[in-house]
Amino acid sequence: MAAATVDSSSASDDAPRRSRAHPSRRSLRGLDWFIFCLADVQVGFGAFVALYLTTQKWTQIDIGMVLSVAGLTALAGQLPGGAIVDAASRIRVLIAGAVCAIAVSALAIGTFPILPVVLGAAILHAGASCILGPAIAAISLGLVGYDRVSERLGRNASLASIGAGLAAAGMGLCGYLISNQAVFFVTAALCIPMLFALSRIRPEDLDVERVHGGRAAPHPGDPAATLRDVLRNQALVFFAFCMVLFHLANAAMMPTLASVMTMRSSDHATILIGACMVVPQLIVALFSPWVGRQARVRGNRAMLLIGFAALPLRGFLFAMVSDPYTLVAVQLLDGISAAVLGVMVPLVIADASRGTGHFSLAQGFVGSAIGIGAALSTTFAGYMSDNFGHATTFLSLAAIAAMGFLFVFASQMRGYRRVPV
């Protein structure tokens, strides 16, 4: 029963490790640049894959198959990826290996755009990403500790948003001026500064016990028994259920909105949809550091309520508003939810899994729940739109989001009442 929070005992817990309480500026800046470059690299595997393969005369069926396989791999790899990070004694080496795998994937797609190679590269990239996600949170926790991890996670989310925005613009320009193939070579090249930034993180600044969620020497043990330990964590299971509801409501909102905008304003749909994607990124970049600071002051539950409250309001406004330009403004709420959840998801998991040695596996468990919710969302929204119309779809998604808000509001789990020291 591992639901945990930061309480007065944390001061004594960290006493033997005072030399690591304040990591060096070099390590912190190294993590900054690593996260920034990682966001750049991941952009190269987004919409650019479908665009590039289309220019290579691929059929939409083959492109869809590659994207589906990559998505399924990402979902199936959440738990194994987290378990691998928990079992790693040298996390920087593990991260470096994942970065190299991404570089190989990008080079393979750019050099050999044939189905077997691209399919293998997509699987390799998805698997590496399943390791990098929990590893970033783990190394952040290992550097700064539980007392300051909320601010660190806020900084991580802000840097990732800035990096993704700049990369999308830069790679789009690269594809326009040079070629779509060049995007993947740029993506591979960006892995070099990532590795350099990783090398700047000093091993002596990393608290191995904190990296793994409270156990200095992680023991892989029986995988089934380890997973049972995670499933016995009531706070974690409850939070995963709330995240299923959130993403069941959230994942389909933007695609449904894109369909609405295309029907209502076909001449300006591309610009409007682009604005709907950029606006939340700006909010995340600006708002995430504040979320990290406030989580320490106000507690996890209060900040989660802000993120969960923005989603049903967004769905309701999408159903009620008809002006496409006003709908872009409503997307500000998406940025608020994204900023809050981007910080609070790993933070709640860190608190709920503290002392278990399974921090990254817990991240994988919640990540799987998020993936399931998102996958069901698009199917549900598609059925609702075809049979009942877009307005009813948005209201249904808002109702699901409201359920998630009410569950978080009613929660009294310790993992949601983080007490600052």
Residue 225 has pLDDT above 80, yes or no: no
Same domain, 176 and 193: yes
Same domain, 263 and 381: yes
Tell me the CA distances in angstroms from 206 to 126, 209, 282, 345, one per residue in order: 26, 9, 31, 22
**Domain end marker among 218, 240, 262:** 218
The model's pLDDT over 133-155, given as tens digits with 9 standing for 90+, comes to 999 999 999 999 998 999 999 99
The residue range of the domain holding 382 is 221-421
Same domain, 228 and 133: no
Structural domain contains residue 6: no
The model's pLDDT over 260-317, given as tens digits with 9 standing for 90+, comes to 888 877 677 778 877 888 889 899 999 999 999 999 888 888 999 999 999 999 999 9
3-state percent helix, strand, coil for the chain, nearest multiple of 5: 80, 0, 20
Same domain, 272 and 345: yes
The model's pLDDT over 81-103, given as tens digits with 9 standing for 90+, comes to 999 999 888 999 999 999 999 99
What is the C-alpha to C-alpha distance for residues 241 and 51, in angstroms, rounded to an integer? 35
Residue 359 has pLDDT above 90, yes or no: yes
What is the C-alpha to C-alpha distance for residues 272 and 366, in angstroms, rounded to an integer? 32
Determine the pLDDT at residue 413. 53
Q: Are 213 and 351 in contact (CB under 8 A)?
A: no
Strands (DSSP E) contained in 9-63 are none
Q: DSSP secondary-structure letter at 418? A: P
Determine the pLDDT at residue 215. 62
Same domain, 60 and 187: yes
In 299-389, alpha helices (H): 300-320, 324-330, 332-352, 359-388
Confidence grade of residue 49 (pLDDT, cut at 50, 70, 90): confident
Structure tokens at 193: 């500064």
CATH number at residue 114: 1.20.1250.20
C-alpha 138: how far from its chain's center?
A: 14
Structure tokens at 236: 């974690």
Structural domain contains residue 170: yes
Instruction: Say whether pTM exceeds 0.95.
Output: no
Least trusted range by pLDDT, from 174-178, 201-205, 376-380: 174-178
Same domain, 342 and 229: yes
Least trusted range by pLDDT, from 4-8, 215-219, 336-340, 405-409: 4-8
What is the C-alpha to C-alpha distance for residues 186 and 44, in angstroms, rounded to an integer? 8
On average, the pLDDT of the chain sits at 87
Same domain, 80 and 136: yes
Structural domain contains residue 332: yes
Structural domain contains residue 2: no
Report how many domains make up the chain: 2
Same domain, 109 and 48: yes
Residue 8 has pLDDT above 80, yes or no: no
Same domain, 266 and 405: yes
Structural domain contains residue 5: no
Same domain, 16 and 114: yes
C-alpha 256: how far from its chain's center?
A: 21
Residue whose entry in the numeric block shows the structure tokens 């309001």: 313
